[in-house]
Every structure is written in structure tokens, then in C-alpha cells.
């Protein structure tokens, strides 16, 4: 949450910072600001989006070659001009941007107030910049020493960039818990919360680790620990193209990402399926495969959409590999007293690789001695670096706040893992193993055929744009898809929606059904098909409006439903990958018709780096 950027070099900093903030806006968008050092530091900040900041800064002096920018997702203090970052220190010596939470800010603030400091904002970040300044002035130390001293006194998480007007040739950056990437150019450096603002300038990057401090001048970067131990920066090459982070002609990133799924799923299994589809290999798991195969239990952890993918994983591992699985919200798991045995394998799922609760749950699992694996999309993010091994989803950058292609890529990885373990355990016969691989390889083409119904789905959305509630029902593999469909609608259209296992409807939700209530029924042909037919009848008998997701050629539900969308037949194992597509499109169109900001829905952020 919150996006931070920094620049030092020979270019004008302003356009670099503004473009960078636009790329990071998915991380938070309730206020934005920049500071540019040009003899003195000029700070411009306001409530609203980066486009509002541009309007605000227009006509002002934004010249200079050193600067920082911030796009905020409020934690301490409401979104307004004053609470927006950057924050200037009381005596004006320091300017800071911060992503994270300073947990002991209140104690530190009281101490600073006792020493005469005055505060203008309600933020924890202003406490940090004042603490840095206080230690700087009191100790007569350098800016870097003051930053390190201050950070040794704070509890919580931070990714920060600091400028000091007495040392106008440098940026100081540090991280603990919140991501920071440094782009290395020729006589210039870029700083950002992720690599997307950097890739158009350089592909050479350094990922800061926790407790790292970087002191950066235009032609030198000094990396050290908080305790002043020198470190050798490890420069990595980005595998990211600028085209991947543009809308590519689509009205929204979300729509682009929905339409990318045939390609992104293909990219997820590309290089992992061999010999014309008869062999499956997951290089990232090679060393740990024996342990995964012997696992007594698998515990899957994640948040939001990643947790829904985990639920599909439960069905997959139980079905194909006969191993018992528990799926946990990372946020609950970390604060329970979970029983984790050494024979357990924990799988953490995360698109961003930065979700604070998932990271904390991973640390807890590691302490217990379990093997911890990751399924992540963002290469080089914190979760892949903290897990023992794992599999990247390779879905490409996902920028729309509502997750779409990351979900299908996560399910694809889980399916590959379950098939692999099932085969190693001899649960799957050779023929079944090949059957599943072939079915997986057929998924992208099947999704193409669903995407062709885009216009029908848009027309259908017109009829439901004004409703207040939605119910989503599914059974078996399609129950998690019902949850995911409801979440998508809630997130971007602000319509209340609930996902339920279809059979549970009669234990409560059925009381809600009347002629106002649209019920989305996921009814692919599997062993529970007849039961779903009965559920549809129960909804119809109470005058509910049924939107059915059915297989091509299905006749019974088609006749009963008010609307239907056909998806190709597949093995039940892969039905989530198909059934979720029309739900994503329907949510998208309903949200667009309601005039909602699809890519940046209110109150949400894509990368949740606070608990």
C-alpha cells in the first residue's frame, strides 16, 4: 500500500516522478505528492489522484534533478492535503515519503512534543521525519546517521526515501517490511515500490532487503545495514517489458488482463510441459519435490483472491494427490496458535508477493520447521525471497486492483503441482496423468471461445446494473469460483454479493430470494450437476432471477434460466479456469455501466503491505 518513487540524476525529476506515480497508483490513490530539491525542497501535495496533483503543481517551479513522489492509501489520518506525503520536518531540514506503519508513533510523538516539536498532520510518517531531524540536530551527525538512528528506534514497517536540505546531492532510502527497488542507470538512480516505474529507463535493479539502507548520489550507491555494516549491491536484470504495463488499447487494465488470460495461462505452463504434453516439470520445486510428495498435510495460506485460488487447490490436491489440505486466511492463521507439524508443507499464494499478513504467516510457518513454498506472480518480491522454494505464475504484471489473470495463473500452478504429486505418489495412472496435462493445455483455447461472448455478457450486464444484491452459487470445484465471482462484483461495482456452496442455500440465503435477487448459478456438468438442477428449481420457485453458467449443449438449466452463458466442457478439475471468465466480464461491465472506477475501486489497494 502506498507507492513511492525517487529520482536522482541528470534528467528533470518531475516527469520521472509523475510517470512513476501513475504506474504505482494501483497501490493507493487517495492523495499524492512530490518533493523536488532545487536549493530548497519544493513540496506539492493534495488529496486525490496523481492527475489532481499534476493540475495542482501546474505553473509552479518543479525544476530540479533530485526528488521523490508518493501515492497514498491512508492508514493514520484521513485522506486530505495535509496528511498527504511528502512530509517536511519541523525545522524544514528533511523531507520524507513513507510506505508502511510506524507502530510506536504515539510514544515517539509525545517525546518529540515534549522537546518542542509541533505537528501539522495526523500521520505516523511525520513523526518519523521529525525524529530524524531531532536526532540530526541534537547529535550533530550526518543525515544518513540520523536516518539509521531514527530507524533503530521505530517499531513497524517502512519503505522510506529521505532528502536533507543540508546534503542536497543525495537520497537516502531504507526498507523493513515494505518493498523498495532501486533502478541503476548511467549516472542516475531510480527508486520505486516495484519495478514498473523503472523499466522504461533501465533493466538493472537492486532489490533492497529488510534493514538495508542505501545512500545514493548521482553517480554512487552505498548500501549498508541499519547497523552500518557495508553490503555489496546485487544487481539483477528485470524480465519485464514496457508493453506489459500499458493498457494496450483497452479501456481499462482489468479488461486487458481478462483478455490476456489465454496467453497468461499459456505462459504459466510454458516451459513446464514437455514432450508434446506428456511430461510436466516444475523447476522451482525440483529440490523439494520428495518432501512435497511425502507431505502428511498441506496448509495453503493467502488473502483475497489468492485465498480463493487456495480453495481450488484444496479440491485439486485432495482429488489428484490424495493429500489432506487446509486452506487458511493468512490474517487468521498468523494470530491463531496453529498446529504445524514438521511433515506439513505450507503453500503461500500471493500475486504481489508483498501482502503483509501472508508474509507474517510464512515467517510463523518457517519457525515451526515446515517446508514453506510460494506461488507468486511478482518476480523478486518478498514472498519468493522468504519461502524455501516455489513456482512463479508468470502471468505478467497485473495492474487492475481486482485480480483476474493472477487467479487463473495461480489455479494453473496448483493444478500442475497436484498432477505432479499425484503422479509421483502413483495416485494417478500414466493415462490419467497424460489426460490432465492434455486438458490443461486445451484451456487457453477454451477461454478464447468464452471471451468471444463478450458482447452478449455486456448486454446482459445492462439488465443487472441497478440491483443491490447478488447471490453466487456453486458446488465442488465451482464453489470457490462462486466466492471469487461475488468478490469481483463487490470490489468494483460496490454491489453487495455473496458466494455460497449451492447446497447451503437452503440454510439461510434462500430467505433472501425474491424477484429482485439475481442468482448466478455455476452449473458445469460434473457429478453434482443433478443437484445443481434442483438448486436452480428452488431459486425459480421463489421467483429469483437465474444467470446460469452452463456447458455448451446443456439443455435443462438453459430452459429455466433467465440468462445463460455457455462455457466449453472440460474435466471438472479445470472448470474453475473457465467458469470464472464470464463472472469477471460480467462484474467488469456492471461496474463500467454504474460509472465506477474499475481499475482503482474506492478504499482498495492492490498490494496490501499493512495488516
Distance of alpha carbon 273 from alpha carbon 438, whole angstroms: 10
- Of 42 and 606, nearer to ligand G6P (C-beta) is 606
Task: Respond yes or no on whether the N-terminal peptide bond of residue 86 is cis (omega within 30° of 0).
Answer: yes
Of the candidates 474, 348, 327, 349, the one whose C-alpha atom is nearest the C-alpha of residue 408 is 349
Which residue lies nearest ligand G6P, judged by its C-beta? 304
The residues with which 372 forms a beta bridge, in sequence order, are 346
CA angle 299, 305, 308 (to 5 degrees): 45
Q: How far is the CB of 153 from ligand G6P (least distance, A)?
A: 30
The Cα 221–Cα 281 span in angstroms is 40
Asked if 418 and 433 count as a contact pair (C-beta separation under 8 A), the reply is no
Residue whose C-alpha is closest to residue 24's, from 580, 609, 515: 609
* Cβ proximity to ligand G6P, 405 vs 606, nearer residue: 606
| Nearest distance from C-beta of residue 267 to ligand G6P, angstroms | 18
Distance between CA atoms of residues 147 and 169, nearest Å: 16
Structural Rg of the chain based on CA atoms: 25
The nearer residue to ligand G6P, 41 or 71, going by C-beta atoms, is 71
- Which residue number, 551 or 609, has a Cβ lying nearer to ligand G6P? 609
- Strands of 94-102's sheet, edge to edge? 87-88, 94-102, 156-164, 171-176, 212-217, 220-225, 230-231
Residue closer to ligand G6P by CB (options 136, 407) is: 407
CB 33 within 8 A of CB 45: yes
Cell of 249: 488499447
Q: CB-wise, 310 or 338, nearer to ligand G6P?
A: 310
Nearer to ligand G6P, 202 or 305 (CB): 305
Q: Find the shortest distance in angstroms from Cβ 483 to ligand G6P.
A: 12
In the complex, minimum distance from the CB of residue 236 to ligand G6P, in angstroms, rounded to a whole number: 21
Binding site for ligand G6P (CB under 6 A): 303-306, 350-352, 355, 358, 401-403, 604, 606, 608
CB of 324 to ligand G6P, least distance (A): 24
Beta carbon of residue 306, minimum distance to ligand G6P (angstroms, whole number): 4
DSSP string, 3-26: EEEEEESSS-HHHHHHHHHHHHGG
Strand 3-8 relative to strand 189-192: parallel, antiparallel, unpaired? Answer: antiparallel
Residue 115 near residue 109, CB atoms below 8 Å = no
CB of 232 to ligand G6P, least distance (A): 30
Q: Which three cell numbers stand for residue 448?
A: 478464447
DSSP 525-594: SSTTHHHHHHHHHHHHHTTPEEEEEEETT--HHHHH-SEEEEE----GGGHHHHHHHHHHHHHHHHHHHT
**What positions carry a catalytic annotation?**
2, 606
Amino acid at each position: 500500500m502506498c507507492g513511492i518513487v525517487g529520482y536522482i540524476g541528470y534528467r528533470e525529476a518531475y516527469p520521472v516522478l509523475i510517470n512513476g506515480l501513475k504506474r504505482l497508483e494501483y497501490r493507493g490513490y487517495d492523495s499524492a505528492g512530490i518533493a523536488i530539491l532545487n536549493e530548497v525542497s519544493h513540496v506539492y501535495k493534495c488529496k486525490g489522484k496523481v492527475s489532481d496533483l499534476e493540475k495542482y503543481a501546474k505553473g509552479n517551479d518543479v525544476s530540479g534533478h533530485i526528488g521523490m513522489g508518493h501515492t497514498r492509501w491512508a492508514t493514520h489520518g484521513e485522506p486530505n492535503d495535509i496528511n498527504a506525503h511528502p512530509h517536511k520536518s519541523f525545522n524544514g531540514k528533511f523531507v520524507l515519503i513513507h510506505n508502511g506503519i510506524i507502530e510506536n508513533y504515539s510514544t515517539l510523538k509525545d517525546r518529540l512534543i515534549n522537546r518542542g516539536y509541533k505537528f501539522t498532520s495526523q500521520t505516523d510518517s511525520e513523526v518519523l521525519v521529525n525524529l530524524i531531524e531531532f536526532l540530526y540536530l541534537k547529535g550533530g551527525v550526518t543525515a544518513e546517521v540520523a536516518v539509521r538512528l531514527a530507524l533503530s528506534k521505530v517499531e513497524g514497517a517502512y519503505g522510506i526515501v529521505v532528502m536533507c536540505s543540508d546534503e542536497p546531492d543525495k537520497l537516502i532510502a531504507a526498507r523493513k517490511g515494505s518493498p523498495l527497488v532501486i533502478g541503476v542507470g548511467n549516472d542516475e538512480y531510480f527508486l520505486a515500490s516495484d519495478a514498473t516505474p523503472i523499466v522504461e529507463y533501465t533493466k538493472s535493479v537492486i532489490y533492497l532487503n529488510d534493514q538495508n539502507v542505501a545512500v545514493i548520489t548521482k553517480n554512487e550507491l552505498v548500501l549498508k545495514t541499519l547497523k552500518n555494516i557495508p553490503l555489496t549491491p546485487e544487481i539483477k536484470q528485470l524480465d519485464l517489458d514496457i508493453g506489459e504495463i500499458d493498457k494496450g488499447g483497452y479501456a481499462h487494465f482489468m479488461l486487458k488482463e481478462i483478455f490476456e488470460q489465454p496467453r497468461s495461462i499459456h505462459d504459466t505452463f510454458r516451459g513446464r510441459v514437455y514432450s508434446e504434453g506428456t511430461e510436466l516439470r516444475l523447476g522451482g520445486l525440483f529440490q523439494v519435490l520428495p518432501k512435497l510428495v511425502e507431505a502428511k498435510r498441506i496448509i495453503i495460506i493467502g488473502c483475497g483472491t489468492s485465498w480463493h485460488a487456495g480453495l481450488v487447490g484444496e479440491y485439486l490436491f485432495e482429488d489428484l494427490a490424495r493429500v489432506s489440505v487446509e486452506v487458511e486466511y493468512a490474517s487468521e492463521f498468523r494470530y491463531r496458535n496453529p498446529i504445524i507439524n514438521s511433515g506439513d508443507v505450507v503453500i503461500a499464494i500471493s500475486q504481489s508477493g508483498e501482502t503483509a499478513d501472508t508474509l507474517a504467516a510464512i515467517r510463523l510457518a518457517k519457525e515451526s520447521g515446515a517446508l514453506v513454498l510460494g506461488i507468486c506472480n511478482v518476480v523478486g518480491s518478498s514472498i519468493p525471497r522468504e519461502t524455501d522454494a516455489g513456482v512463479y505464475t508468470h502471468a505478467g504484471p497485473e495492474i487492475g486492483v481486482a485480480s483476474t489473470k493472477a487467479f487463473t495463473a495461480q489455479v494453473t500452478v496448483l493444478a500442475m503441482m497436484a498432477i505432479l504429486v499425484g503422479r509421483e505418489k502413483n495416485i494417478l495412472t500414466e493415462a490419467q496423468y497424460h489426460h490432465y496435462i492434455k486438458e490443461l493445455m486445451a484451456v487457453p483455447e477454451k477461454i478464447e471461445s468464452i471471451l468471444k461472448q463478450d458482447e452478449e455478457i455486456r448486454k446482459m450486464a445492462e439488465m443487472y446494473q441497478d440491483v443491490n444484491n447478488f447471490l453466487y452459487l456453486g458446488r465442488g470445484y465451482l464453489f470457490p469460483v462462486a466466492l471469487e465471482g461475488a468478490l469481483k462484483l463487490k470490489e468494483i461495482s460496490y454491489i453487495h454479493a455473496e458466494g455460497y456452496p449451492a447446497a447451503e442455500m437452503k440454510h439461510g440465503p434462500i430467505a433472501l430470494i425474491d424477484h429482485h435477487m439475481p442468482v448466478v448459478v455455476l452449473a458445469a456438468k460434473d457429478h453434482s450437476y443433478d443437484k445443481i438442477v434442483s438448486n436452480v428449481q428452488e431459486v425459480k420457485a421463489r421467483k429469483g432471477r437465474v444467470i446460469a453458467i452452463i456447458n455448451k449443449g446443456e439443455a435443462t438449466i438453459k430452459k429455466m434460466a433467465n440468462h445463460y452463458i455457455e462455457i466449453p466442457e472440460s474435466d471438472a478439475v479445470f472448470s474453475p479456469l473457465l467458469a470464472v471468465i464470464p463472472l469477471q466480464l460480467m462484474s467488469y461491465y456492471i461496474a463500467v455501466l454504474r460509472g465506477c472506477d474499475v481499475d482503482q475501486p474506492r478504499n482498495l489497494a492492490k498490494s496490501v503491505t499493512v495488516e
